[in-house]
């Protein structure tokens, strides 16, 4: 099995702090510079799996970079450079404590809520008579509060967000406008690849100048759900499951092995063969989403490679 990046412990020049998320590790430097490293950790049901997935960090980072570049004409973003396959460097921002989730289809969490009899999600009505994976008349925005470490994100309505002062009305209108514009562009990009962008989430922050910008990842299989467009209508008509392109296959494997992140449950053992199959699936996701062949980076000494590439970039600016 190739080396995987499970943890980092860098000390970059001017480093002020480090934040370790489920998948990404973020180093804050002087001069409002952020170094974001995508590890090979795999998270599902808000639990980090014990073993990493080879090349997963590279895949997520490179998809996010390509999608940031493909949308920077409609929404400004935090990205300055990607000096290493696993690294994005950008401008430090004050993040909004909300994830802007947008759904074009009745899938995933929305479908589970619908099945439970709910016809309202985050203050957004869901029409009667829909089947799972049907298209909504118009995409709906269903925000989620950003969870503290270890907690689950929670659905929240626009009205409650404003009422609790999590986001100002003026800022929320910008977030809403940007979310719809990004989803429209993402939908167009997906269509060119024979895919349907089903749902996704965006995160935003504010620069020290007060500009609202897109941060974190965008349109990756970890943050988005895709269907294959070919055969979508036929599968819906027959009541069959849609052919998906997301990390949902990992969740389904965990569920079939008795794990949903609930208290008292144990993460099932992932064999080397299974981990290799997950890595191959992520490579398939990359190639389907970008329309390009995936080039595996040298992982002989991942830590050294990343440290050197980041240092070279920082020394040059």
**What pLDDT is recorded for position 153?**
73
**What pLDDT is recorded for position 2?**
82
Range(s) of the chain covered by CATH 3.30.470.20: 95-245
Range(s) of the chain covered by CATH 3.30.200.20: 15-94+273-316
DSSP per-residue string spanning the chain: ------------TTEEEEEE-SSEEEEEEGGGEEEEEE-S--EETTEE-SS--TTHHHHHHHHHHHHHHHHTTTS-BSEEEEEETTEEEEE--EE-SEEEEEEEES-HHHHHHHHTT--EETTEE--TT--TTPEEEEEEE--EEPPPTTSPPEE--HHHHHHTTSS-HHHHHHHHHHHHHHHHHHHHHHHHTTEEEEEEEEEEEE-TT--EEEES--S-TTTEEEEESTTHHHHHHHTPPP-EESTHHHHHHHHHTT-SS-TT--PPP--HHHHHHHHHHHHHHHHHHHSS---PPP-TTHHHHHHHHHHHHHHH-
Q: Regarding the domain with residue range 15-94+273-316, which homologous superfamily does it belong to in the CATH classification?
A: Phosphorylase Kinase; domain 1 (3.30.200.20)
* Average per-residue pLDDT for the chain: 94
Please give the model's pTM, rounded to 2 decimal places.
Answer: 0.90
**What pLDDT is recorded for position 195?**
95
Cα 306 from Cα 299, distance rounded (Å): 10
Spatial CA neighbour of 63 closest among 88, 32, 34, 95:
88
The architecture (CATH level 2) of 95-245 comes to 2-Layer Sandwich (3.30)
**What pLDDT is recorded for position 249?**
82
**What pLDDT is recorded for position 148?**
60
**What pLDDT is recorded for position 235?**
98
Low-confidence ranges of the chain (pLDDT < 70): 147-152
Q: How far is CA 68 from the centre of its chain?
A: 13
**What pLDDT is recorded for position 147?**
62
């Amino acid at each position: 099995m190739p080396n995987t990046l499970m943890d980092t412990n860098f000390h970059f020049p001017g480093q002020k702090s480090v934040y370790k998320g489920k998948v990404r590790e973020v180093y804050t430097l002087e001069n409002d510079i952020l170094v974001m490293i995508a590890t090979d950790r795999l998270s599902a049901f808000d639990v980090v799996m014990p073993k990493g997935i080879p090349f997963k960090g590279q895949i997520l980072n490179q998809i996010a970079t390509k999608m940031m570049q493909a949308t920077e004409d409609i929404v400004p973003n935090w990205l300055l450079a990607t000096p290493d396959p696993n690294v994005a460097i950008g401008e430090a921002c004050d993040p909004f404590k909300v994830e802007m989730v947008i759904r074009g289809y009745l899938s995933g969490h929305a479908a589970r809520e619908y099945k439970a009899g709910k016809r309202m999600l985050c203050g957004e009505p869901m029409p009667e008579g829909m089947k799972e994976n049907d298209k909504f008349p118009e995409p709906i925005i269903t925000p989620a509060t950003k969870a503290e470490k270890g907690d689950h994100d929670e659905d929240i309505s626009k009205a409650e967000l404003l009422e609790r002062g999590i986001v100002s009305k003026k800022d929320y209108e910008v977030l809403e406008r940007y979310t719809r514009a990004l989803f429209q562009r993402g939908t167009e990009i997906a269509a060119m690849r024979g895919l349907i962008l089903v749902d996704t989430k965006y995160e935003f922050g504010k620069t020290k100048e007060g500009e609202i910008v897109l941060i974190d990842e965008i349109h990756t299989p970890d943050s988005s759900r895709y269907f294959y467009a070919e055969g979508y209508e036929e599968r819906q008509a027959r009541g069959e499951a849609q052919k998906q392109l997301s990390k949902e296959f990992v969740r389904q494997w965990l569920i079939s092995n008795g794990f949903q992140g609930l208290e008292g449950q144990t993460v099932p053992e992932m064999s080397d063969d299974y981990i290799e199959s997950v890595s191959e699936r992520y490579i398939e996701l990359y190639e389907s989403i970008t329309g390009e062949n995936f080039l595996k980076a040298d992982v002989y000494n991942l830590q050294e490679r990343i440290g050197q590439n980041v240092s070279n970039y920082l020394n040059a600016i």
